[in-house]
Amino acid sequence: MSGAVVAGVDGSRRSLTAAEWAAREAARRGRVLRFVHSSPPLPRRVSPVPGADAWQHVGEQMLGQTVADFRARDPDLEIAGEHTAAEPAEALLAAAAGAGLLVVGTRGWGGFDGLALGSVALRVAAMAQCPVVTVPEARRTGGGWDGGPTGEVRLGFDAHAPAEAPADFAFRAAQERGVPLRVVHAWALPPASPSAWMLTVLEEDRAMWEDQESQVVSDALRPWRERYPEVTVVPDVILLNPAEALVRASERAGLLVIGRRTPRPTELRLGPVAHPVLHHAHCPVAVVPHPAL
pLDDT at 194: 56
Q: How many beta carbons lie within 10 A of that of residue 222, not counting itself?
A: 9
CA distance 105 to 103: 7
pLDDT above 70 (res 193): no
Directed axis angle between helix 49-73 and helix 13-29, to 10°?
Answer: 40
pLDDT of residue 145: 54
Chain-centroid distance of CA 123 in Å reads 13
Q: What is the pLDDT of residues 102-160, one digit of tens each?
A: 999 986 545 434 445 688 899 999 999 999 999 997 554 444 455 555 589 999 999 99
Provide the pLDDT confidence category of residue 13 given band limits of 50, 70 and 90: confident
Contact 278, 246 (CB under 8 A): no
In the predicted model, what is the mean pLDDT of residues 18-37?
A: 95
What confidence tier does 254 reach under pLDDT thresholds 50, 70, 90? Answer: very high
Rg (CA), the chain: 21
pLDDT value of residue 268: 62
In 10 A of CB 38, how many CB atoms? 23
Query: Is the per-residue pLDDT at 195 higher than 90?
Result: no
Q: How far is CA 178 from each of CA 141, 152, 213, 232, rounded to the nearest angstrom?
A: 21, 9, 28, 9
Distance CA 25, CA 7 (A): 11
pTM of the model: 0.87
Strand partners, 181: 153, 233
Q: Is 197 exposed, middle or buried (0-12, 13-18, 19+ CB in 10 A)?
A: exposed
Q: Are residues 260 and 289 in contact, defined by beta-carbon separation less than 8 angstroms?
A: yes
Average pLDDT, the chain: 84
Cα gap 72→84, rounded to integer Å: 24
Q: What is the largest CA-CA distance in the chain?
A: 78
Angle between helices 88-96 and 119-127 (to 10 degrees): 30
